């Protein structure tokens, strides 16, 4: 304490100067409108910047929870689109008071590994068997199809990417419902090729390509991409259509795993029909 008093005594003129300066500024700001306004505006500006920076930092650390919440919301929205329901006849299903029964549900997951540079590419998800994911489930984003689940462990899933030589999807042109197949030829992760569209079909650049629904994996109407070019190659009887893929496969984060609630029943029925 004695050292503190000695320090103040030695430098009392500095403290006196600072005190008088504070008094002078207080009198100026109190009695002069312009200076008071400038001081308040400067203080508000600095305070606002501090609050904005703090808010930005908080939002940055909250991005993960916000993205997960958005993914859950997207699942709920997907479950209510027409393509997620099975159309039935209420006169047959008399115990059900609706014309539609839910056929597809969705599980949100996050991509933790991905490749686009190989001929056969795979994606790893952070959810697996204990979350309800099984082989042969589809994987989509709001932008379009991603792939099909191949293997699962308790906590993770391995997905065959659409960018794979074994992937070929049933697709259709949205405006006229003409059916074809879409696949990736291995050159550009932003492009795909649609085949088996006959030459009498009217095509235009920009036409939308969606899933046909003729599978047990993906609902009808999931966006795949748009036509960027088309031609009939020499010796072919169908168009070869170049499609700009909607998904950026080099920038995947959250996805939705598609569950077909009637998949087992459909497979069992079709297998029995083929055996007769």
pLDDT band of residue 67 (cuts 50, 70, 90) is low
Question: Average of pLDDT values for 230-244?
Answer: 93
Domains of the chain listed by start with CATH number: 87-275 (2.40.10.340)
Which pair of structure tokens corresponds to residue 72? Answer: 């859950």
Examine the pLDDT at 265 and tell me if it is beyond 60: yes
What residue spans of 155-209 are helical by DSSP H? none
What is the b/e burial string over 161-195, where b = at least 16 CB atoms within 10 angstroms of the residue's CB?
bbbbeebebbbbbeeeebebebbbeeeebbebebe
Degrees to nearest 5, angle at CA 217 with 173 and 72: 100
- Express each pLDDT in 153-202 by its tens digit: 999 999 999 999 999 999 999 999 999 999 999 989 999 999 999 999 99
Which pair of structure tokens corresponds to residue 115? Answer: 């490749």
**Beta strand pairing call for 223-231 and 208-211:** antiparallel
Contact status, residue 117 vs residue 92, Cβ threshold 8 Å:
no
pTM: 0.66
Q: 17-21, 86-90, 161-165, 213-217 — which is least confidently predicted?
A: 86-90
Which pLDDT value is given to residue 18? 73
Q: How far apart are CA 223 and CA 162, in angstroms?
A: 13
For residue 158, the tally of other CB atoms under 10 A from its CB is 17
- Express each pLDDT in 6-60 by its tens digit: 666 676 667 666 776 676 666 665 665 555 555 444 554 454 455 446 545 655 5
């Amino acid at each position: 304490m004695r050292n503190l008093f000695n320090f103040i005594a030695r430098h009392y003129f500095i403290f006196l100067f600072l005190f008088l300066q504070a008094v002078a500024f207080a009198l100026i700001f109190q009695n002069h409108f312009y200076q008071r306004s400038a001081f308040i505006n400067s203080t508000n500006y600095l305070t606002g910047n501090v609050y904005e920076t703090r808010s930005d930092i908080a939002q940055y650390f909250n991005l993960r929870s916000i993205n997960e919440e958005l993914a859950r919301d997207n699942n709920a929205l997907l479950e209510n689109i027409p393509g997620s329901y099975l159309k039935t006849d209420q006169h047959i299903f008399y115990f059900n008071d609706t014309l539609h029964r839910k056929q597809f549900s969705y599980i949100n997951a996050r991509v933790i590994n991905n490749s686009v540079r190989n001929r056969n590419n795979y994606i790893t998800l952070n959810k697996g068997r204990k979350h309800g994911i099984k082989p042969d489930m589809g994987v989509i984003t709001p932008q379009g199809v991603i792939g099909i689940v191949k293997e699962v462990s308790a906590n993770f899933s391995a997905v065959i990417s659409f960018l794979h030589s074994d992937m070929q999807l049933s697709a259709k042109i949205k405006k006229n419902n003409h059916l074809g197949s879409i696949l990736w030829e291995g050159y550009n992760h932003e492009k795909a090729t649609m085949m088996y569209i006959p030459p009498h079909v009217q095509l235009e650049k920009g036409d939308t390509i969606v899933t046909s629904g003729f599978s047990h994996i993906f609902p009808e109407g999931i966006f795949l991409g748009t036509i960027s070019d088309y031609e009939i190659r020499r010796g072919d009887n169908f168009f070869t259509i170049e499609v700009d893929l909607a998904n950026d496969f080099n920038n995947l984060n959250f996805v939705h795993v598609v569950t077909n609630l009637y998949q087992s029943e459909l497979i069992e029925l079709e297998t029995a029909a083929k055996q007769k």
